[in-house]
Amino acid sequence: MFTKILIANRGEIACRVIKTAQKLGIKTVAVYSEADKDARHVELADEAVLLGPAPSRESYLVADKIIAAAKATGAQAIHPGYGFLSENEDFARRVEEEGITFIGPKHYSIAAMGDKIASKKLAKEAKVNTIPGHNEPILSAESAVEIAKGIGYPVMIKASAGGGGKGLRVAFNDKDCFEGFTSCRNEARNSFGDDRVFMEKFVEEPRHIEIQVLGDSQGNVVYLHERECSIQRRHQKVIEEAPSPFISEATRKAMGEQAVALAKAVRYQSAGTVEFVVGKDQSFYFLEMNTRLQVEHPVTECITGVDLVEQMIRVAAGEPLPFKQDEIKREGWAIECRINAEDPFRNFLPSTGRLVKYQPPETSMEQAAPERFGVRVDTGVYEGGEIPMFYDSMIAKLIVHGKDRAEAIAKMREALNGFVIRGISSNIPFQSALLAHPDFGSGNFNTGFIAQHYGGGFKAEDVVHEDPGFLVALAGFIRRKAREREAGITGQLPGHEVKIEHDYMALVNEGAGRHQRHALHIDEFVGNLGEAHVRVGDRSYRIVSTSRLNDIRIAGTVNGRPFTAQAERGTAKNPLAYRIQHNGLAIEVSVLSPRAAELQALMPYKAPPDTSKFLLSPMPGLLVQIAAEPGQTVQAGERLAVIEAMKMENILIAERDVRIAEVLAKTGESLSVDQPILRFE
């Protein structure tokens, strides 16, 4: 067994590998860029080596620097994590040539499966079901359009070296195909240094289901059941679960056996994933093989009890797999939500900056010890740390394990309620809405689920709460609790003491100066239990909570049922209002005396400034293109600018016909949120 390994990655996955290495008594070496000098993985490791500047092409993607760091620190092996160099054949081969063990598959397996064109041909030879398509590199956008016509729309345009949703587009017509090919090729070149693109038929109403495999150096290969990964946005997974609520035992077995056959065909050693697209009739076709650890591996660990990182390390050290296929169990149901730094209410634009507050829910499962039936958080961040613009948007992975799917969904919803993130935006409200959707609950979904239900974007009204009156009642509860505390302060001027009212008016902010009004009646608190009876209109809530007034996370019971919610006093525009959040819904509510509410209704509303004559940057990022010049008329739907953030190209288009008056930013400039780029006439 190794005594020291280097982790050639950052963030959550670097921390994850370090945890398992510590469990095995192995020392670890972290590598980091200048942007990550204070990162959590650097702190957790026994040693750390600076690679270079923040851009990954100057740090995490430089093989020479990583190999030099391993040799300088005496690391006997390198674990690549996922992304970056994890599926780079040249890197794996060079590591081995330098006498260092690569904790992953051999370079020839990566070569065979890492190239999506070659892998499809090999899959056919191994008698694995494959999708019709054009498996040779496409050289131009014009050729792409002609090939797409031959295959028949819709088609999927994919970068040969792509992954993680990058270098991938779906085209439904010639225009989509022409533009998608160009963007696909650019993203592939920038992210992977390989701009080869191919095309295949897009299976409509598909499900994305993948099989986890493990192989050792003795030729043993097993599959550890499947993961359902159909809930995707822009081809990036949002929620993953294991097992799938869709496939039958017969389909599971057939997919697993084909995955094993493919792995054996390439002499696969280590953990890997064979991805399939599955039709509604349970027909399935090979998509690709990811020759690395997957982001969503924790759900497999939960249902099988197998630490996949540990097995990767043991296999790399020459040990055989400790189990056979019939010894792999499947117990309970696991779900993973990817918590990303993005604003779902602004078309999921990246959100970077400092984590002013970061309080994940309480956990009962450890990263390196797949214990059962609890909550687990895999993360690489900490409160006060930075979310930089140079890397992907993941803050954490939230994983739950229940006895069945219904219990897992309930656990996940409650865990999301208790996940406190401030300073940047996160996709937690979106995750909550997805989990509450009846089609998700019933398992009636496919990869088009998000496009179907949120095709026009995600809006506040898309968050459907089963009882929004509870949020108003909770605000009243907190306000009354604060008044109780204020009334107990000694030294108050006689005749002017704080009075504890029973009746209030709650004003829920609806924007543009409008408020929804709710009459509240609150009975006295009972003993020291933090209990009150709150009436909102004709509904009554018995709330019990001993959480402190300065706690953001509020836990207790309402009408005898446990709840976790979030509450804060003061918002950017109203320091006296409360912000209450539960099950994805967030409201801004002021709890006033009836007289104060009457006076508030007389206050004038000040409208925000008109910015319609400007193109504003919706996110921090690098301005890589300005597609318009002063005096040029641009039609609705045409490109205005391109901003690169978190390794993704974000195209800004004209919402209406406009004439450009002035260019206010320069190509290559680092933009801040709401920075003007163009001014319209």
Strands, sheet with 166-171, edge to edge from the N-terminal-most edge strand = 133-134, 197-201, 155-163, 166-171
Q: Are 259 and 291 in contact (CB under 8 A)?
A: no
Q: Are 341 and 421 in contact (CB under 8 A)?
A: no
CA torsion angle 480 485 486 491 (round to 10): 150
Number of C-beta neighbours around residue 382 at 10 A: 12
Q: Are 207 and 230 in contact (CB under 8 A)?
A: yes
Of 12, 240, 288, 336, the active-site residue reads 288
Q: How many CA atoms lie within 13 A of 575 on its CB side?
A: 0
Strand pairing class (101-102; 77-79):
parallel
Give how far Cα 487 sits from Cα of 498, 513, 550, Å. Answer: 5, 32, 17
- Which three-class secondary structure string do you get for 464-518? CCCCCHHHHHHHHHHHHHHHHHHHCCCCCCCCCCCCCCCEEEEEEEEECCEEEEE
DSSP letter for 346, please.
G
Give how far Cα 592 sits from Cα of 186, 469, 475, Å. Answer: 55, 17, 11
288 is catalytic: yes
DSSP letter for 72, please.
H
Element holding 658 (H helix, E strand)? strand 658-663
Active-site residue set: 288
